[in-house]
Copies of this chain bind each other. A is one copy, B any other.
Amino acid sequence: MTRYEHLATLLAQRIEQGLYRSGERLPSVRSLSAEHGVSISTVQQAYHLLEEKQMITPQSRSGYFVASRKATPPMPALTRPAQRPVEVTQWDAVLELINSRLEKDVLQLGSGMPDLTQPTIKPLWKAFSRQAQKQEMALLNYDNLYGVLELRQQVARLAIDSGCQLTADDIVITTGCHEALSVAVRAVCEPGDIIAVESPSFHGIMQTLRGFGIRAIEIPTDAVTGISLEALELAFDQWPIKAVVVVPNCNNPLGFIMPEPRKRALLTLAQRFDAAVIEDDVYGELAWDYPRPPTIKALDLDGRVLLCSSFSKTLAPGLRVGWVAPGRYRDRVLHMKYIVTGSTATQPQHAVSEFIRQGHYQPHLRRMRQIYHRNYETFSCWVRHYFPCGICVSRPQGGFLMWIELPEPFDAVRLNRELRESKIQIAVGSLFSASGKYRNCLRLNYGLPINDQTEQALAKVGAAVERAMRACQHDDLPAALPSDLLVAK
C-alpha cells in the first residue's frame, strides 16, 4: 500500500468510527502533513481518493468536509432457518444464474468470478507459453489420480500459512473446488444421510447434496461469528448428522471469518458426535489481514476434517485446479475422484506449479487482497449512497462477496428479472438456502473491476430496490415491479 492509500484508509476508518461526523470539516492539508510526517501532495492524494469514494466533499477555499450521508447500514442479524432436514431445491434458480454467464454484455454482479485483469497474473501465461514450446509428452498424458506431485508439495507448503502440517501425500488435486466438495461429500455420506450447513450457504455445495440424495439441515448463522454452535449442538442431539459443511474463512456469502475459539469449539462438537467436517477454504487466502486466518483443519488431530480449496478465486477459475486434504477419508476420496473424472487436466496443474515455483503466487495474492479490500470500501460507499435506508449489509473480512438483506417481503427474484432488462445480474438470496429462504436477500460481487459502469449499475440496483421497497410499504403490490411494466418503460 502506498503512503497516500495508507493515510486514506486511516482517515476512512476515523470517519467510519464517527471521529469525524457527517458535515464536519476535516483537518487542513498542512496540519495532516505535519501530523503524519508526509508531504502535502500525499495528503492531497489521500483526500482525492476519499473524494472519489464519495466519503468527503471539497468546498472551495474551505477545505474538505465529511460527506453528508446515511448511517452505515447494520449487519444482518442471526439467521433463523427451519431447523429440520430438507431436500434441497432451487436447482432451476442456480441453472438460471449459471446460464446468465452465457449472455454477453451482462454485468455479472451476482457471479463468483475473481478479477482476472491484474498484471500479476501474466506469468501464468508465460508458464503456458513455455509448456507449448517444450512440448513435453507427459503434459498431454493422463496425470496420476492424486495430481501432479510438485503441485501437491506446493499446496502442502501453502497450507502452512493456515496452520496446517500437511505433506504431498495428504493432498488430492481435483477439478476445481467443486469436485473437491463433491468427492468429500460422497466420501463421508450415503444417500439419505443428513449434512448440516450454514444458512445462508454456498449453492454449489447444496446442489451437491441434492444430487446425491443427501438432506440438508440449515443451521442459524451469524454475520460476524459464523454458524451457531448452540443451534448446531441441538441439531446434533436431534438428528443423525453425518457431517457439517462450513466456509469459516471469508464466508460465502456472508464474508465473516469465524473466530478461532469458535472454530475449535465446532471441531470439538464434531468429535463429540463423531461427524466429519467439510471445510471450504476457497476464499481463505483473500482475507484482508495478513497472516491469513487458520483453517479448522489446522486444529484437526484425528483426521475428521476434509479441507477443500482451489486456485479458482485466488488465481483463475478456468484452470479448474482445486484440491482436497481428506484426512482419514483419503481412500474413499480417491475412489470418488477416480469415478468422477479419472484425473485432473494435466497442463493447468503444471502451469500453476510453475507460477508458484517462480515466486509469483504470493505477490499476486498480496495485490488481489489489496484490490478487493479497496474495492470493498468503494462498493460499500456506493451501496450506502444508492440503496435506501432499512437494509442490512454484511461486512466481509476478505474475499469479494457482499450480502444485502432487504426488509420482507422484498422479492429479489423479481428484482433480478427487472435488472436483466438493464443487463445487470445479481445472485438472489434464495439460491443460498436449501428451502428457498432469503428471497429478500441478494449477493453482490465487488471483485470485478471498479469503474463508472459498475457504479452506474449499482445505482440502478439501488434505485430498483428503493422502488420495490416503496411499493411494498404502500400497498399490496409485489415487492418488485412486474416485468411487463418495465418492458413498457
Contact A339 B102 (CB under 8 A): no
- Contact of A141 with B345 in the complex, beta carbons under 8 Å: no
Interchain CB contact under 8 A, B316 and A345: no
Q: List, sorted by A's number, 22 A–B pairs whose CB atoms are closer than 8 Å.
A: A94-B338, A95-B334, A95-B335, A98-B144, A102-B144, A121-B140, A125-B135, A128-B131, A129-B129, A142-B317, A142-B318, A178-B339, A178-B342, A179-B341, A179-B342, A186-B211, A190-B191, A319-B345, A320-B342, A320-B346, A347-B348, A348-B348
Query: Which residue of chain B lies nearest to A122 when distances are taken between CB atoms in the complex?
Result: B135
Q: Is A116 an interface residue (CB 8 A)?
A: yes
A340 within 8 A of B: yes
A348 to B76, CA, bound (A): 42
- List residues of chain A with CB under 8 Å of any chain B CB: 91, 94-95, 98-99, 101-102, 113, 116-117, 121-122, 124-126, 128-129, 131-133, 135, 137-145, 175-176, 178-179, 182, 186, 190-191, 204, 207-208, 210-213, 312, 316-320, 334-336, 338-348
**Selected contact of A320 from candidates B94, B175, B213, B312, CB within 8 Å:** B175
15 additional A-B pairs beyond A140-B317, A320-B341, beta carbons within 8 Å, are: A98-B338, A101-B144, A113-B142, A129-B129, A129-B133, A141-B317, A175-B344, A176-B341, A178-B338, A178-B342, A190-B191, A190-B213, A191-B213, A204-B338, A319-B345
For A121, the chain B residues whose CB sits under 8 A away are 140
A340 in contact with B140 (CB, 8 Å): no
**Given known A132-B129, A204-B342, contact A316–B140 (CB-CB < 8 A):** yes
Docked pose: A211 CA to B336 CA in angstroms: 6
- B340 near A178 with CB under 8 A, answer yes
**What chain B residues lie within 8 Å of A317 (beta carbons)?**
140-142
- Contacting pair A116 B141 (CB below 8 A): yes
Residue of B nearest to A94 (CB): B338
The CA-CA distance from A335 to B204 in the complex, in Å, is: 11
Q: A122-B135, A204-B342, A340-B341 are in contact. Are A128 and B320 (CB under 8 A)?
A: no
Residue of B nearest to A102 (CB): B144
Whether A178 pairs with B141 at a CB distance below 8 angstroms is: no
Q: Which of B99, B129, B143, B212 contacts A318 (CB 8 A)?
A: B143
By a CB distance below 8 angstroms, the chain B residues around A312 are 142
Residue in B closest to A98 when the chains form the complex, CB atoms: B145
Known contacts A320-B343, A340-B340; A140 and B126 CB within 8 A of each other = no
Chain B residue nearest to A177 (CB atoms) is B342
Cβ 8 A contact of A125, one of B132, B176, B346: B132
Report how far A133 CA is from B133 CA in the complex, Å: 12
7 shortest interchain CB distances as A-B pairs: A318-B346, A178-B342, A129-B132, A140-B316, A211-B339, A320-B345, A128-B132
Shortest Cβ gap from A487 to chain B (Å): 26
Cβ–Cβ contact A341 & B175, under 8 A: yes
Q: Are A126 and B116 in contact (CB under 8 A)?
A: no
Cα distance A117–B136 in the bound complex, in angstroms: 10
Nearest chain B CB to A106 CB, angstrom units: 12
On chain B, the residues within 8 Å of A339 by CB distance are: 178, 182, 204, 207-208, 210-212
Tell me which residues across on chain B come within 8 A of A94, comparing CB atoms.
338
Chain B nearest Cβ from A432, distance in angstroms: 15
When distances are taken between beta carbons in the complex, the residues of chain B under 8 Å from A102 are 144
Q: In this complex, what residue of B is CB-closest to A92?
A: B331
